[in-house]
Amino acid sequence: MKNVVVVGSQWGDEGKGKIVDWLSSKADVVVRFQGGHNAGHTLVIDGVTYKLRLLPSGIVRKNKISIIGNGVVVDPWALLDEIKEIKSKGVIVDENNLILSESANLILPFHKEMDEIREDAAGNAKIGTTRRGIGPAYEDKIGRRSIRVMDLVSESNLDHRLETVLIHHNAIRKGLGKQIYKKEQLKKDLLKIAPEILKFSQPVWKKIDEYKAKGKKILFEGAQGILLDVDHGTYPFVTSSNTVAATAATGSGCGPNTINYVLGITKAYTTRVGEGPFPTELKDKIGELLGNRGKEFGTVTSRKRRCGWFDGVLVRQTIKISGIDGIALTKLDVLDELEEIKMSIAYELNGKKIDYLPAAVDDQLKVKPIYKTFKGWKSSTKGIKDFEKLPDNAKLYIKELEKFIETKISSISTSPERSDTILIESPF
């Protein structure tokens, strides 16, 4: 038995949806352990497209248990809307196949407003958030003033908790010249949906322990990518949670010995949404070609992604930080039309060659990539399922990539279709 954690090894949008869907077909339990509804997965199953934001990918499959862990921040209205949307496509969602941690923290309307207020006030210094209240909700969690799922059980407790959190938020709102937030209507709105939310609520740590004892295969599903990790990413242009594989343990309530294999989803080139450093970014026709061929628009926000060459330095770094055992290389077919392909193998900073991305954002913005150039293969790889049938130049690029990042490639994706995958090693 193996329990597998799936994380993005770049800035997110690596194509986790397809890989997680394939793995969830083999797993018994699928767990979301961090993030919120700011990042999404697109799944296509039997011609039906599902766009998931909070719900784990296992929800679209029969006889799977889906869990939203304590490390996730949950907009309760967004969750209910997503459940309604997924049900309209014939998917069963009930308390038998969906579990929500009683300890999960809630995203409330004033979190979203605070997100918008800050981004608008920041001007050119904005982070590029999705404006969904993720960051402010995590701040309240760390500040020990947030509303959790369990707080919906008692009206008197909810009233007290709202009083506490709004003292903080209203002081900031007043200082910024914004109207203070009144709690009464919000309390009514929360109590109205409380029964619909609480029916999914359980102690997730206990359920996972039960599933482990029964030998169930558990898939831990990460959101975003390691380069957006609040500790290890391109700070401050990061998300508000830890996105590394180790968070699967803390974000669900199980020990690190629960994790047997870490799979890093890795795009054959690089993309980034929002602001922040991006050493290999291409602001030219090649960058446009990658974006168009790769359909690089966000699942949740539809924002256009910035595109660039594969950054081997960054991926090697995230592999070491997150303990990645193998990578699933995605979107190889997007490179099919290129005459030549480049991979960053080092950086130059202030005239010196370095082999890692420094922590200071000023240095991250100044580094210049040092490239190794490969001949393109100028032929279609779309739908190929056998490594030996790939063009010779594609095989060379993949082997050199694998050698440089010092981690084996476990699979190669050659189209958005789940079946169009070269499987080298299965995590399960």
- Contact 238/261 with Cβ under 8 angstroms? no
Alpha helices in 323-379 (DSSP H): 361-366
Q: Quick: pLDDT tens for 349-362.
A: 999 999 999 999 99
Integer CA distances (angstroms), 23 to 189, 219, 258, 413, in order: 38, 8, 17, 14
- Contact 239/331 with Cβ under 8 angstroms? no
> Cis peptide leading into 236, omega within 30 of 0?
yes
Residues of the chain with pLDDT under 70: 1, 122, 125, 128, 298-301
Judge residue 340's burial from the number of C-beta atoms within 10 Å of its C-beta, 0-12 exposed, 13-18 middle, 19 or more buried. Answer: exposed
Q: Quick: pLDDT tens for 358-392.
A: 999 999 999 999 999 999 999 999 999 999 999 99
From the list 41, 111, 169, 232, the catalytic residue is: 41
pTM attached to this predicted model = 0.93
Phi, psi of 412 (to 5 degrees): -135, 125
Catalytic residue at 13?
A: yes
Question: b/e per residue, 351-374, with b = 16+ CB within 10 A?
Answer: eeeeeebeeeeeebeebebebeeb
Catalytic residue at 160?
A: no
Predicted confidence at residue 132, as pLDDT, reads: 86
Predicted confidence at residue 274, as pLDDT, reads: 84
Unique residue bearing structure tokens 């506490």: 164
First to last CA, the chain: 7
Q: Quick: pLDDT tens for 107-163.
A: 999 999 998 888 877 677 677 677 889 999 999 999 999 999 999 999 999 999 999
What is the spatial distance between Cα 279 and Cα 365, in angstroms, rounded to a whole number?
7
Query: DSSP class of residue 263?
Result: E
Say if strands 65-68 and 340-349 run parallel, antiparallel, or are unpaired: unpaired
